[in-house]
Amino acid sequence: MAITLIICESVIGNIGKGLKGKYDEMLAKDAVERISISRAESERLRMRKSTDRGTDIALSMPAGTRLRHGDVVSLADRMIVVAIEPENVAVVRLKNGDARTAVLVGHAIGNLHRPIRVEGDRIILPVQSDGEVEMLRRQLGPLAGNVDITRDFVVFEPEAGAHEH
């Protein structure tokens, strides 16, 4: 059996919130290790991963946990931080506050059954290929003057409650 296995059973905090000071402190001590997981894996409760430094990690989280970018799952002599892998997304920006455009864009994107994230005037949704961005452009073609569609490669964390199926 692997002796060095670290079993993590809860999220202790997030480096973007309460643990920021501690993170900086551990960073200064060169004691931060990261585990990379995909967005799909962020909803998993149980998995085995290696950190960027090769430490063996077993995650066994309480029901209902969703891992977020920057979550700390172990904090002792080392801090183990979750990093969500960046992915391809389409960014649909509403160029003006027109309600009609917003509803039509929402309807079109809703029909794709994807998770979304809304940041200000931008709607962000994951895509698998350039072809999908093109398809979105065609679908929203009639609204071309009011929307702007670009592609990006970022950490995507969906809105809670914006259910996909």
Partner 1 sequence: MAKRVPRVGVGGPVGSGKTMLIEQVVPVLFSMGYRAGIISNDVVSKEDADRMRRNLATEKGMLAEDLVVGLATGGCPHTAVREDPSMNIAEVEEMESRHPELDLIIIESGGDNITTTFSPALADYFIYIVDVAGGDKYPRKRGLGIETCDLLVINKIDLAPHVGADLKVMERDAKAVRGNRPFAFVNCRTGEGVDKVARHIVRDVLFELPPKARAG
Residues that bind partner 1 (CB under 8 A): 1-2, 5, 7, 40-41, 43-48, 58, 60, 63, 165
Instruction: Quote the least distance from Cβ 60 to partner 1, whole Å.
Output: 8
Instruction: Quote the least distance from Cβ 58 to partner 1, whole Å.
Output: 4
Q: Which is nearer to partner 1, 32 or 73 (CB)?
A: 73
Q: Which is nearer to partner 1, 42 or 146 (CB)?
A: 42
Q: Which residues of 119-138 are buried (b: 16+ CB within 10 A; e: fewer)?
A: eeeebbbbbeeeebbeebee
Neighbour count for residue 68 (Cβ, 10 Å) = 15
Q: Which is nearer to partner 1, 43 or 52 (CB)?
A: 43
Q: Which is nearer to partner 1, 41 or 157 (CB)?
A: 41
Instruction: Quote the least distance from Cβ 4 to partner 1, whole Å.
Output: 12
Q: Which is nearer to partner 1, 44 or 117 (CB)?
A: 44
Neighbour count for residue 157 (Cβ, 10 Å) = 16
